[in-house]
Amino acid sequence: MLEIIALPYGHITAITYLIVLPDQVILVAPPAPVRRLPPNLPPIRRILATHGHIDHIYQADAWRVLSGAPLAIHAADRACLTDPGRNLSAVISSARTFAPAEAALVDGQTIELDAAHRLTVWHTPGHTAGSCCFLLEEEGKPTALFSGDTLFAGSVGRTDLGGEASALDHSLRFLAGQAERLGLDETHDLAVYPGHGPATGLAREVGSNPFFP
């Protein structure tokens, strides 16, 4: 049985997501404190970072210590863990560094979770060079998209904090193409779980979000 648990945290409500499967939990983005972990869940087996800004990796080390699980981030954002300038902590508050990532994600990578579930990495640069979305499939059927700060309900991630507007435009075109490939529409949509704010749908955003080209 699949369950998705959202753990919003902080004054800008960065969200940690828990993908709960029968024998494991996959943690997407580690900003929430470990004390927010609900009881009686299976063990956390993987930690995935959507990108390297401080508000989305704030508790990366604490979650790794708690679970023993490795953290993976796209290679282009890997330096954010060890560079307070790149992760923006030196700009926003006080400089913070973290242990290096145990693994680097690549575009198109498939992560087999169990016999029924898998994640596919979509590299969607723009907000940061290494920003990624993660497509969750159950029994081969697209079930959810974890979009990080690439896509929000009615908006997109800003590009003035080390990002690139042209890259974000390309990523949005890619997402629109995926919505078409999957045959999504308002009545048959794919749930999107962004890094901030409420959940939405991919077809809904392609059709109504003013930032789509």
* pLDDT tens for each residue of 80-95: 999 999 999 998 888 9
- Tens-place pLDDT, residues 166-192: 999 999 999 999 999 999 998 999 999
The conformation of residue 3, written as its DSSP 8-state character, comes to: E
**Per-residue model confidence (pLDDT) at position 93:** 82
**Per-residue model confidence (pLDDT) at position 173:** 98
The two structure tokens encoding residue 40: 């009686």
Q: By percentage, how much of the chain surpasses pLDDT 90?
A: 95
Q: Where are the domains of the chain?
A: 3-208
- Per-residue pLDDT band for 12 (boundaries 50, 70, 90) equals confident
pTM attached to this predicted model: 0.97
Q: Which CATH architecture describes the domain 3-208?
A: 4-Layer Sandwich (3.60)
